[in-house]
Structure 1
Amino acid sequence: MFVDAIERVNLFTQPMHSIVRLYSHSEIVPGTATLFFVNDEGCAITCKHVADLIRQSDTIYHNYLEFQGARRQALREKTAAQLISQLEVKFKLTADTIIRVRNNFINCVDQFEKLSIEAHPTQDLALLRFEGYNRLLYRSHAVFLADTSRVKPGRSLCRLGYPFPEFTNFRYETATDDIEWTTTGRVTSPSFPIDGIITRLTGDNGVATGIELSTPGLRGQSGGPLFDTKGLIYGMQSATRHLHLGFDIEDQEVLVNGRKTRVSNYPFLNVGQCVHVDVIKAFLHEKKVKFYEG
């Protein structure tokens, strides 16, 4: 049903690869997110929570470098262990704290001097502008649904994104105590579509700002387009909501592999949450960004 649409949408939907390092170890955690381009001028949209990670990457690393400088001073003292513990509290560092994030925008532009980010004030939506590039690497651009009265419960739609970080072109460099991109290893991750039907429209005061889908959005699909069989954009994948079904089972005896055991189960329905196309178009119009309708 969505074969032609996926091929069309794939031309302007691109992944952002990220590598993350946590405090106190050199393990590298790969991750992905999605963005899609709205015109031929290097303008793309994604989720605000994805854009926040991009904006905070330098601040996160600067905080860690300041800690490292203070730690080197503390190591000269007899009470080094105590001083380092105090520094960890001061710089808010625990075993789960991110100390380094590096992002790589795949097949977007050949290079860029600046990435301008503007976030929507209330919705999980952000505008990215690549500046100072020589050549666009994405092909085509989004076409947004013009007649938004078509956004109704029961309509089948599809989302496209990059939920599975299968790239391996990164490493930890002992000499610099840093993580970095490499020219070896797998540099791509596959796109992944997932369909569903519109279940509900969400919003406030009778104004729809979100679209709920019967299937969940996957991690890494955040920022990916929501579209119909023609490839027209209805919205953007934002989050997954977990709806408690109330079919709870507590301490019930069942047979598992031929043996009696007692189990409890609290089922939830996982549904996708998307930013409504009207919100996206209004935001682009406000920022004076060219976009297309069909």
Structure 2
Amino acid sequence: MFVDAIEKVDQFTRPIHFIARYYGGSDIIPGTATLFFVNEEGCAITCRHVAEHLLQAEAIYAHYLKFKTELRSYGSGRVSDALRTRLEDQYKINKETAIRVRSNFVNSVSGFKRFTIHLHASQDLAIIQFHDYEAKHYQGHAYFLRDGRHIRQGKYLCRLGYPFPEFTNYRLNQQLDDIEWTNEGRINTPNFPIDGIVTRHIGENGGQSGITGIEMSTPGLRGQSGGPLFDRAGVVYGMQSATRHLHLGFDQTNREVISEGLKRRVSNYPFLNVGLCVHVDVIKNFLREKNIRFYEADGDTGA
């Protein structure tokens, strides 16, 4: 159903790899997100919450280094637990605090000198513009649905992203006491499509501000945030943003069941997980606002 469309969209959809280290630990936690390119000029879109991780990375590390410098200022000997605790409280640092976050744009563009991020004022949407890059490693670009009014309830669509961080090209540099990317290990992460139908349109202020989002019958997976929502022709209808958990009300509390031949007491509170996508009209209006070139096409005519 979506075989050709996935191959087409995959040409301009790329992963963002993240690695993070938390205070007091040496473990490296990998993560992923998704972006896709909207033109041939190195301009891509992703979710606002993804872009904020990119923007906050340097501030997170600078904050930790400031804490570390003050801790060392009390001498090279063992710092008392009371003093360490006071500084941790002062800097709001604990074992759940990320102290270092690094990112890597995989197979997007190489040799870029800088990038600019534009955050949407109210929607989970951001633009990333790569500047002064040496080469681009994506092919083609998105074509957005020309008329967003054609997105109707029951429309069968697909999303593409990178929910499973299977890359291993990172390490903890013991000498520098810092995490870093390496040229060893697995560099790539496999993409993953997920299909569904349009269930509802999402609007702000009770719909008075127009339609801003699309609800899908299936969830968007972690790491697919920022990936395109598209039809069987590969035309983009929106962007995966979040997952909403709808309580179904079919609760079972302390109910007796037979499992593996034994009577057991179980409780279950089921939810329906549905995907939320930024509407194509919101994306196109934001690109127009920032004077960024994009392309349109008519969608497929099937349901």
User: Same fold by TM (over 0.5)?
Assistant: yes
- For 1:122, the equivalent position in structure 2 comes to 122
1:74 shift after superposition: 2.9
1:134 shift after superposition: 1.8
1:259 shift after superposition: 0.8
**Normalised by the size of structure 1, how large is the TM-score?**
0.98
Give 4+ residue runs of structure 1 displaced > 6 Å after superposition: none
- For 2:74, the equivalent position in structure 1 comes to 74
Alignment of 1:168-183 (within 5 A): 168-183=168-183
Alignment of 1:8-23 (within 5 A): 8-23=8-23
CA offsets per residue over residues 16-56 of structure 1, 9 Å max, x none?
00100011011000000000000011100000000000000
Q: In structure 2, how many angstroms separate the alpha carbons of the residues matched to 1:77 and 1:38?
A: 55
1:77 shift after superposition: 7.4
CA offsets per residue over residues 230-284 of structure 1, 9 Å max, x none?
0000000000000000000011111111111111110000000000000000000
Corresponding letter in the other structure for 1:146: R
Q: In structure 2, how many angstroms separate the alpha carbons of the residues matched to 1:190 and 1:98?
A: 26
1:183 shift after superposition: 0.6
**RMSD of aligned Cα (Å):** 1.1
SS at match of 1:55: helix
Corresponding letter in the other structure for 1:252: R
**Normalised by the size of structure 2, how large is the TM-score?**
0.95
Corresponding letter in the other structure for 1:171: R
Q: In structure 2, how many angstroms separate the alpha carbons of the residues matched to 1:77 and 1:221?
A: 47
- For 1:263, the equivalent position in structure 2 comes to 266
- For 1:187, the equivalent position in structure 2 comes to 187
Q: In structure 2, how many angstroms separate the alpha carbons of the residues matched to 1:102 and 1:62?
A: 13
Corresponding letter in the other structure for 2:153: P
Alignment of 1:92-241 (within 5 A): 92-204=92-204, 205-206=207-208, 207-241=210-244
Q: In structure 2, how many angstroms separate the alpha carbons of the residues matched to 1:74 and 1:195?
A: 57
Q: In structure 2, how many angstroms separate the alpha carbons of the residues matched to 1:209 and 1:241?
A: 15
- For 1:281, the equivalent position in structure 2 comes to 284
Q: In structure 2, how many angstroms separate the alpha carbons of the residues matched to 1:159 and 1:278?
A: 17
Which stretch has the larger CA shift, 193-202 or 104-113? Answer: 104-113
- For 2:296, the equivalent position in structure 1 comes to 293
Q: In structure 1, how many angstroms separate the alpha carbons of the residues matched to 2:195 and 2:235?
A: 14
SS at match of 1:144: strand
Percent identity, aligned pairs only, is 58
Would the aligned equivalents of 1:21 and 1:100 in 2 still touch at CA under 8 Å? Answer: yes
CA offsets per residue over residues 128-155 of structure 1, 9 Å max, x none?
0000102211110000000212111100
- For 1:63, the equivalent position in structure 2 comes to 63
Q: In structure 1, how many angstroms separate the alpha carbons of the residues matched to 2:163 and 2:120?
A: 24
Would the aligned equivalents of 1:74 and 1:80 in 2 still touch at CA under 8 Å? Answer: no
Q: In structure 1, how many angstroms separate the alpha carbons of the residues matched to 2:81 and 2:187?
A: 41
- For 1:251, the equivalent position in structure 2 comes to 254
Distance 1:229 1:79, change over 3 A: closer
Q: In structure 1, how many angstroms separate the alpha carbons of the residues matched to 2:251 and 2:141?
A: 46
Would the aligned equivalents of 1:168 and 1:186 in 2 still touch at CA under 8 Å? Answer: yes
CA offsets per residue over residues 148-186 of structure 1, 9 Å max, x none?
121111000000000000000000111111000011000
CA offsets per residue over residues 72-128 of structure 1, 9 Å max, x none?
123557863211111111111111100000000001112111110010000000000
